[in-house]
């Protein structure tokens, strides 16, 4: 009961992550019909299908890939869901998805296609850890260092072979990197906006 009380079960904190999981599940159910039209595809984006910058993050290669990412969405909600309202979660999700896709498009030209939530999840992990630090939670430092080390390790030594076998595809480690960077950028922007808002409030008083 104590654990349940600590979970961000308020409707404003719960609906958005739940919606992402439901959309991903639905997309997977119709995967054969939608994957060719909604996956991140470098060539199609170049031709003007800009929505693929967002929709590809909601598709998955197989059921294990979907299960792993859905579990991660739930875990991040349990850890940091209290920091996000429905509107802020959706807005941040779109920003990190866009940033991750643009990173892939601009700096990883060899990656022709991509699906999965992992890039966006790395961004949310960073923002949640930074929010913990902002709220004087020491675990935030541990989480932030851990995700930085994890992404750096992937960039140097490559992805886990076990994960590659589970999802039956190459792990898009560059998406993890760009998601992480996007998380830092989004948090910095939100922090600056908060400081500006606080200054305005103080000046009015």
Render pLDDT for 144-154 as a digit per residue (tens, 0 to 9). 999 999 999 99
Kindly indicate the confidence band of residue 198, based on its pLDDT and cuts at 50, 70 and 90.
confident
Tell me how far apart the alpha carbons of residues 168 and 170 are, in angstroms, rounded to a whole number. 7
- Report the CATH fold assignment for 11-204: Rhomboid-like fold (1.20.1540)
Name the residue with higher pLDDT: 153 or 9: 153
Please give the structure tokens belonging to residue 186: 């989004």
SS3 114: strand
pLDDT mean over 138-147:
96
| pLDDT reported for residue 9 | 83
pLDDT mean over 187-197:
90
Average pLDDT, the chain: 92
CA distances 182 to 77, 86, 95, 102, 196, Å, are 19, 19, 8, 10, 21
Domain boundary assignment for the chain: 11-204
* Number of Cβ within a 10 Å radius of residue 72: 17
Please give the structure tokens belonging to residue 69: 């990412």
| pLDDT reported for residue 168 | 75
* Number of Cβ within a 10 Å radius of residue 91: 15
Kindly indicate the confidence band of residue 4, based on its pLDDT and cuts at 50, 70 and 90.
very low
Is 80 in contact with 121 (CB distance < 8 Å)? no
Tell me how far apart the alpha carbons of residues 96 and 122 are, in angstroms, rounded to a whole number. 9
Helix-strand-coil percent breakdown of the chain, rounded to 5? Answer: 80, 0, 20
| pLDDT reported for residue 205 | 57
Indicate if the pLDDT at residue 1 is higher than 50: no
């Amino acid at each position: 009961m104590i654990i349940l009380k600590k979970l961000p079960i308020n409707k404003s904190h719960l609906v958005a992550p739940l919606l992402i999981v439901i959309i991903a599940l639905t997309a997977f159910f119709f995967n054969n019909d939608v994957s060719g039209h909604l996956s991140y595809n470098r060539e199609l984006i170049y031709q003007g299908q800009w929505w693929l910058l967002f929709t590809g993050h909601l598709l998955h290669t197989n059921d294990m890939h979907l299960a792993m990412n859905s579990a991660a969405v739930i875990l991040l909600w349990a850890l940091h869901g209290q920091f996000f309202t429905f509107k802020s979660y959706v807005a941040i999700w779109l920003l990190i998805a866009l940033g991750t896709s643009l990173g892939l498009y601009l700096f990883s030209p060899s990656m022709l296609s991509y699906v999965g939530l992992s890039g966006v999840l790395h961004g949310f992990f960073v923002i949640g850890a930074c929010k913990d630090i902002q709220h004087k939670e020491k675990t935030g430092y541990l989480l932030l260092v851990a995700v930085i080390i994890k992404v750096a390790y992937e960039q140097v030594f490559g992805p886990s072979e076990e994960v590659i076998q589970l999802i039956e595809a190459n792990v898009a480690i560059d998406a993890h990197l760009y998601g992480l960077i996007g998380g830092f950028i989004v948090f910095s922007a939100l922090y600056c906006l908060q400081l500006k808002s606080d200054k305005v409030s103080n000046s009015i008083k």
